[in-house]
Amino acid sequence: MAKFRHYALVRAESELALVQRESEIPKLAADQVLIRMKAASLNYRDLLTIADVQGNKDGLVPLSDGAGEVQAVGSDVRQWSVGDRVSTAFFPTWRSGAFSPAHLAVALGGGQTDGVLSDYVIAQQDAIVAVPEYLSFEQAATLPCAGVTVWQALFARGQIQAGQTVLVQGTGGVALIAMQLANAAGARVIVISSSDEKLAKAKQLGAWQGINYRATPDWDRAAIELTDGIGVDHILELGGPTTYDRSIAAIAPGGQIAQIGVLSGFGSQPNMTPLQFKNASVNGICVGSVEHFKALNLFMEKSRIEPVIDQQFGFSEVPQAYDYLRAAGHFGKVCITID
């Protein structure tokens, strides 16, 4: 039986350690596909996972987001052929329609479910999507979590319209693909960031306005001024306790806050009352379905968006890639090439 390399999170004293291991490729079931992984990407969630000593099985294969090439198919698989370029879906069981909490338990790369930081991954035939032809494997690997989350937030739920305004927090993976997708939809995007240098880069990439949230802590007021006193139509709430109240202050009447992130932790909750006087909404967003992913990829094909990759690390450099993401100096996504 052929052996392959993968990473595993193993218990070491009070933390989880990343170790490389070898395993045997199991036999494919009739409806499964064997993928030779070519690239993966890290998300902020992967930092939460490695810090969660109790919440994951010992030996968990980390990371949810990857892309690769079909190497073999089960006897009942008709929609995929050897050589097809595919991406894994974050929730393999959420194919379409309404969300069910049961999907949370099988999200890739967390809890009890192995992820994609591996030479090979076995997936159900309906839990993968085709990679748009113009994207590299690394670019495709940036989308399963960050891209699909933004698709659900701004498009499937938010019904974004040309001419609307969008505010994104920071310049990490979710924020930048949100900016690119919103721009392609004809919206104007305000980026808030800790860094003037990152804001300058965001402007080069199409940000309409930038606000440094360190130099201008009351960025909500600045955003209201920039929108002629009206407020912002869509806010991607990524910060958590340090940003909730300002997001509620900056949202326009009838606007939508997509509740997505926890960058400042899981602290105290905001005062929601101002939302009622603006007829504004908060949409809870948890990534998205396979159907959302397919819709995102169709839009990507049409708009030819190139996801922003800050750094690509090799398979032997995975610990460095985690450290790099943790340091939060990145602009866009951090990827692993599975060479």
Nearest distance from C-beta of residue 84 to ligand NAP, angstroms: 26
Q: Least Å distance between CB 27 and ligand NAP?
A: 33
158 binds ligand NAP (CB under 6 A): no
Q: Any contact of residue 171 with ligand NAP (CB under 6 A)? A: yes
Task: In angstroms, give the least distance from the CB of 108 to ligand NAP.
Answer: 13
Q: By rule CB under 6 A, what string of x and - marks binding of each residue 44-63 to ligand NAP?
A: xx------------------
User: With binding defined as CB under 6 A, does residue 234 bind ligand NAP?
Assistant: no
Shortest-Cβ-distance residue relative to ligand NAP: 172
Structure tokens at 86: 């595919």
The CA dihedral of 106, 234, 299, 206, to the nearest 10 degrees, is -120
Q: Which residues contact 308 (CB under 8 A, 6 or more apart)?
A: 176, 177, 180, 205, 331, 332, 333
Is 292 a binding residue for ligand NAP by CB under 6 A? The answer is: no
Whole-angstrom distance, CA of residue 250 vs CA of residue 267:
20
Cα angle 104, 108, 112 (rounded to 5 degrees) comes to 70
Under rule CB under 6 A, residue 287 binds ligand NAP: yes
Of residues 34, 298, 283, the one with CA closest to residue 143:
298
Q: Does 195 engage in binding with ligand NAP (CB under 6 A)? A: yes
Asked if 263 is part of the footprint of ligand NAP (rule: CB under 6 A), the reply reads: yes
Cα 88-92-98 angle, rounded to 5 deg: 125
Which part of the chain contacts ligand NAP (CB under 6 A), choosing from 22-30, 94-102, 255-263, 292-300? 255-263
Contact status, residue 105 vs residue 147, Cβ threshold 8 Å? no
Q: Are 7 and 117 in contact (CB under 8 A)?
A: yes
Contacts with ligand NAP, residue ranges (CB under 6 A)? 43-45, 145-146, 149, 169-175, 193-195, 198, 213, 238-239, 242-243, 260-264, 285-287, 325, 328
